[in-house]
Amino acid sequence: MGRPVSDIVSAMESQAQVEVANMEKNLNLLAVVPSIAPMLGLLGTVIGMIIAFFNLSHASGSFSPKTLSEGIYTALGQTAVGLAVAIPANFFYNILLTRIDKFVLKAQNMSGEFLDLINKPL
């Protein structure tokens, strides 16, 4: 081959870093969703509770459960939506991350075998 093994190893490591970066480039966006979605759900919960207590404080005459239930309904609905988005996003993020890790491990093993082959005395 005409090249020192250290140059080959360096080139392989550089290319591996490029490939892993390409595989992970959009993974950061998916990682953000599971952390943001529950916070947005919590924001909806707080807004729903504000609505509930606002309606309760401005109710004229006798108290009606409907006055309070509208805000609680909004609060619970927003919480459910936040969790419904976060749970699958977290699941798929972890699946993709595991696949990338398995690929990296396989590539490392294959590169080790390749280096063993080129280092064998003839």
- For tokens 């990338």, what's the residue? 100
Non-local CB neighbours of 19 within 8 Å, separated by 6+ positions:
107
CB 40 within 8 A of CB 82: yes
In our burial notation (b when 16+ CB lie closer than 10 A, e otherwise), range 18-54 reads: eeeeeeeeeeeeebeebeebbeebeebbeebeebbee
Residue 102, pLDDT score: 93
Non-local CB neighbours of 56 within 8 Å, separated by 6+ positions:
63, 67, 68, 71
> What would the pLDDT profile of 9-53 be if each residue is shown by its tens digit?
888 888 888 988 888 888 888 889 888 988 888 898 898 888 888
> What would the pLDDT profile of 83-100 be if each residue is shown by its tens digit?
999 999 999 999 999 999
| Banded model confidence at residue 71, pLDDT cuts 50, 70, 90 | confident
Mean pLDDT throughout 50-60? 82
Residue 15, pLDDT score: 87
Q: Is the pTM of this model over 0.85?
A: no
Residue 1, pLDDT score: 54
